[in-house]
Amino acid sequence: MALKTTRWDASEFLDSDESIAAYLNAAFEEGDPGLIAASIGHVAKAKGMSQIARETGLSRENLYRALGDGGNPELSTMTKVMRALGMRIQIAPAKPTRRKRVAA
């Protein structure tokens, strides 16, 4: 008997703000721009691409193209979409820095 598989769709599991934030944080931690864009696209799909299009003023087609495989969205597109998703990008130091003591 052959093994039957189905395509996994991340957007089916992004059902809370906490799971969405964790998913996007993991994508940003990886640092791959394509993965980040695709992950934002998965979240937009989970929330409803038509709704995100209305809130951002961008067309659904442009959102799918920018946030899909091989997409390369502009920063302005990503910030509009993140705002429409109710998320924000927060900046933190990559690793803690130690203060140098100054001799008196």
Extents of the domains making up the chain: 10-84
- CA-to-CA dists, residue 56 to 37, 63, 71, 84, angstroms: 16, 10, 17, 7
Residue 82 host element (H or E):
helix 75-84
Supply the pLDDT for residue 18: 94
Question: If phi over 0 gives left and psi between -120 and 50 gives alpha, with beta otherwise, what is residue 77?
Answer: alpha
Q: Is 94 helix (H, G, I), strand (E, B) or coil?
A: coil
Average pLDDT over residues 51-75: 93
- Residue % of the chain over a pLDDT of 90: 69
Query: Is the predicted pLDDT of residue 33 greater than 70, yes or no?
Result: yes
Per residue in 60-70, pLDDT tens?
A: 999 999 998 88
Q: What is the pLDDT of residue 100?
A: 67
Q: What is the pLDDT of residue 59?
A: 96
Looking at residue 103, its pLDDT comes to 67
Residues 15 and 46: their CA atoms lie apart, in Å, by: 7
Pull the structure tokens for residue 27.
């994508």
Q: In the structure encoding, which two tokens stand for residue 55, read together?
A: 């809130």
For residue 104, what pLDDT is reported? 62
